[in-house]
Chain A
Amino acid sequence: MYQYDQYDQTLVEERVQQYRSQTKRYLDGDLTDEQFRSLRLMNGLYIQTHAPLLRVSVPYGLISTRQLRKLASIARDYDKGYVHFTTRQNVQFNWPELEKVPDILAELASVQMQSIQSSGNCIRNVTSDHFAGICPDEVEDPRPWCEIIRQWSTFHPEFTWLPRKFKIAVTATQKDRAATQLHDIGLHLVKNGQGDVGFEVLVGGGLGRTPVIGKLIRPFLEKEELLAYLEAILRVYNRFGRRDNKYKARIKILVNALGVDTFREMVETEWALIRQEEQLEIPQHEIDRIQACFAPPAYKADSGNSAELETQLAENRAFSNWFKQNTSEHKVAGYKAVILSLKARGCPPGDVTEKQLDAIADLADRYSFGLLRSLHSQNLAFTDVQESELFGLWQELEALNLATANIGTLTDIICCPGLDFCSLANASSIPIAKEISERFDDIDYLYDLGEINIKLSGCMNGCAHQSVGHIGILGVDKKGVEWYQITLGGSSEEDAALGARLGPAVSKADITDAIGKILDTYIDLRLEQEPFLQTVRRTGVQPFKEKVYAD
C-alpha cells in the first residue's frame, strides 16, 4: 500500500496541530458554532443526536493491520468499543468526545491515517473497487491514480469551499463495484483502439434528494491530462454551481441545468486554458514510485492442493455455502478474495467491535499479507488468501461471527445509522435491518432468492443509497410516525438505474411483511434462473404493487 514520505507525514502532523488549535479556539469562544461547524466537518466531525461522530478516511478502502489495530485501540480508549464502516469505505467512531478528537487525530497520524476532508463541502475521500489489483479483467490497478487524486485534492487551495460535497470514484473493470455512476466524477480506466490506457470520465452522478445517474463527458482522457481535466471540472463547478440552495448545489444540478453538452464545452475550454497555464503532468518517476507501492505481494507459485479443497467443500455444507457466497475469484491461480460479513444476524450492518478488529488484524497478518479492504457494501475483505488455507480461515472467522454466508443476498443490507444516531433522521433504519435479517435468516431460502440487495436510509439524504437498491427502503416521517417508502429495480453497478416507486409508504409494523410479499411475488414471477433485478425490470412494479397493497 502507499507509504507516506516526509511530505505526507509532515502534512498530517501539521493538520493535527491545526485542528487542535481550531478546537481550542472554539472552546475558548473565538469561533462561533457556525464557523467551527465548517472547520470540524472538513475534518470529519459531525455533531449527532447523542454525541459527535468522527469519520476517518480509508483511502480507496485499503487498510493495513497496523492501522486496524490502531482503530481498535482508539475504539477502546476514546469510544464505546466498536467502529462503523460506511458505504464510502470509510470508518466512523460514534462516540468520541469533541475535546479529545485532536488526540485521536494524533493517534491516527502515527499510523498514516487522517480524517481530512472526510466531510464538508470539499473533495471527499476518493473511493475505488475493493478488488482493485486482483481482478483478472482489470485494465490497470486504479489505486495509484486514486492516491494521486487523494494528494492533489488534499487542502486544494482553490477547491476547499465548494458549493457542496464532491465525490470521486475510480474503477478499472467492466463490473462496477464502486458505484461510479453515482459520483460527482466517475473515472473508468479503459483501453482505447490504439491499446493506450486512459480514463473514461463521467460527471454529475449523485444520490440524495435528486438521484441522478452520471453522464459521459469524455470517452477517453489521456492519463497525463488527469489533473488538468479534474481542475477544469472543479473550476467550472466552483464558479457556476448553485450556492443559494443546499439541495440544488451538487454538480449534478449544474450539469442538468446547462445540459451535458454545454457543460462539456465549458470544461473543455477551461481545460485548454489550464494546459497552457500550468504543468500538471505527473513525472514518470513519480508514477513509478506510487505504482511500486501497490506491487503484488509475494504470491506462492504452488499454492497448494486443490484436491484437498474439493474434499473440504464436498464434506462440509456450511463451508461450501460460505465458499460460494463469500469468496471471489483472483487473477493468481490458487488464490481467492474473502469477504468478511459484517451483516451477521441481528447486528447493525457495518459495525465491528474492537475485539473483532484486533482478531481480524491477526488473521489478515496470517492469511492475507497484512492488508485488508473495506467495501462499499459495508463489509471487509482479505484479498489474497491461498485456497489451501480457506478452510482454516473460515473456521476462525466463524468463531468471530464474521463468516455469515450472506454476501450478495437479501440480508447483506446496506443501512444508514438512522434515528438511532443521526440527528437528520426521519425514521429508524438499524432496527428495520435487524428485523429483516432475523425474519429471513433461513440460508436455503436466501440462496434460492439469489442476488438481491436491500438499501435502507432513514431520510431523504439517502446515505444508504436506497434509490439504487434492488429493493430501496426510505424512512419518512408522517406526523411524527415512522413510515417507509419502497422502490424496486435500482442498481448502483454497471447497469445503474434508479428504482421505481412501489406505492404509498408502508407503516413500521408492516414493512417486513411487505418485503416478504415482494419476495413471494418474485418467486411466483421469475423465469428459471432469472435474478430479482431482471424480473422487476421485465415485469415492472405493478405485480409487486398488487401483492403488497392487496387487503
Chain B
Amino acid sequence: MNGAAPDVLIVGGGIVGAACAWECSLGGLKVMVVEADVPGSGATAAGMGHIVAMEDSTPEFHLTRYSQIIWNELVHEMPAGVEYLPCGTLWVAVDEEEMAGARRKQASYLGRGVPAELLDARQLAEAEPSLRSGLVGGLLVPEDSALYPPVAAQWLLTQSGAEVRRGRVVSISDSGAQLEDGTLLTAGIIVNAAGAMSSKLMPGVPVTPRKGHLVITERYPGFLRHQVVELGYLKSAHAAGGDSVALNVQPRATGQVLIGSSRQHGATHKEIDRPILSAMLRRAEEYLPGIMDLVAVRCWTGFRATTPDKLPLIGPWPGTQRVWLATGHEGLGITTGPATGRLVADLILGRTPAIPAQPYLPARCGHA
C-alpha cells in the first residue's frame, strides 16, 4: 500500500471494470480497481452471457460486433471455466409478420457482413427439435455464442495485474473516490464502472436499474442447441416503462438450460417476483412445450444499468477534469464489456479507436 497514485482507478470489478483494467494495463497504465464485493458478483454474475451482435442501430451494432470479435480472440486464452459455447442465436418467428421481421434482420446482418441464415418451418424444427410445431421459421446467426461471465471477469482482472482493493465507494469527484471508511483514493483518471449502482456515486448520471429474472435447470444435454430468442423480443425489450417477459433461453456448456427473460422498471428489491417468474416460464413453455418437465435448480434476479437512449456511457464525464464513465450497458454488457475496455484505453491513451467513440460519449447527455 504505497507508491504513486495509479494512472487509472476503476470503481467496480464487473465485466466492464475488469475489461477496462485489462485494456488499460495492456496499454502500459498503472491500474487499481476498487470493488465493494467479490469481483464479477454484480450483474456480471446475474446475466446470461449471450455474446450477441445486435443491429437495431449503427452504434449498437458497432459496439456489439467489435466486442464479439475481441471476445472470440480472448476466449481461447481463458480457462475452461469460462464455458464458451459457440451456439449461435436462433431468432424464432411465430407468424408471417415476425418472419418478415426475420427477413429484414437477415438483410441488415448480411449488409453488415455478419452471416445470417433464414430457416423455414422444417429447417427450424430440425435445427431445434424441442421447439413446438407450427412455428413459421427463424433466423440463425451462427457467430453468436454463450459463456459464463464471472469467470471471464475474474480472469481479466487477474491477468491485468491491476491492484484490486476491497472497498465501498460512496462518491466520486475530481478529488478522488471516497470510501465508506473515509479513505480517499486518488488517481489520474477515475472510471465509474459500478453498473446499475453508478448513479448512486455521482449525481446526475442518467442510469436506472432494470430488473431481470433467470432460472437455471439441471443438466439435460441435447434439450437445447442454440440461444433461442423470440422475434417479439425487440418489441418487448424496448417497450419503455411497463414490465415485460420474452422467450430467451440458452444452452450451457454443462447441458443446463438457462431460462429468461424479464424486464421491470422501478423494481429495486432483489427478491423473486412470482407473477413475473411464472409469466416468464409460461412464455418459454409456449415455444418449448417440454421445458416444464425439466428440473430447475435455482432462480435469481439481477439489475441492468439502463440509460435513456439505450446506449452505454463511455468516456469523460463533462464538468469534471478526471472522472470518466463506463456504465449503462443495459442487457448487453457482457457482450460489450471488452469493446468498452478497449475504447476507454484508446481514449485515455490518445489512440484512434477502431469504431467511432462519439455515440457513447457521456457528453451527449447535455450535463454541464
A, B: real partners: no
